[in-house]
Amino acid sequence: MTESLWHAARRLRQDVSMDEHEFDALISRVNAGDSGAQDALFAAAYPALRELASSRLREGGGHADGLHTTQLVHESYLRLSRSARLRPETRREFFAYAARVMREFIVEALRRPRAGEPLTLDTASELPLSAEADEVLRVHEALAALQAAEPRLAQVVEMRYFGGYTEVEIGDVLGLTERTVRRDWDKARLLLMALLR
């Protein structure tokens, strides 16, 4: 992961306009069925989600023709809000989950041209995948294989690489020691490198 993506992900989690407890309380209200809480949650998170989306597109996913930051944020919002209950229960989990949703959408967007589906209503022509887009798909497939074999390792990768979390923060969310997270990260990197060969 490049330093700029890591710093952007880290900064976005800290720049949310409300403190962590207020943000967590909004998530709890959403999960309790408060209809206005979901809009308030996404209004509070929107600037940070835009920054995350911009970083994701700039640092590896921007090869999906026609995909823009606003589209990625809005699609992520729709996917996050489809169910009455959010999976994440804290601000840290929320942004880690948002990063995963964005990654999955980017991968789907990259795959659509292969299947002959237009990316959006205004893109009628199919373009061949670039080498960079193919690389993004290979990394995604390797991460999916890691998820099947070692779910916790895949979660550490998602949180560290896509969410920009530190080892301490990952440990807090997953209930692991910093040392265990470090070992999981090292093992996951080795497995991913082997899968990408």
Summarize pLDDT for 1-42 with one digit per residue, the tens.
344 444 444 554 454 457 888 888 988 998 888 878 888 888
Assess contact for 104 and 147: CB atoms under 8 A. Answer: no
pLDDT tens-place string over residues 84-118: 566 788 887 888 788 788 888 877 877 765 545 44
pTM of the model: 0.64
Terminal C-alpha separation, the chain: 18
Give 127-181 pLDDT, tens digit per residue.
344 556 677 778 788 888 999 999 999 988 887 876 677 888 888 878 899 999 9
In sequence order, which residues have a C-beta less than 8 Å from that of residue 42 and are 6 or more positions away? Answer: 49, 77, 80, 81
CB 163 within 8 A of CB 99: yes
- Cβ distance 88 to 78 under 8 Å? no
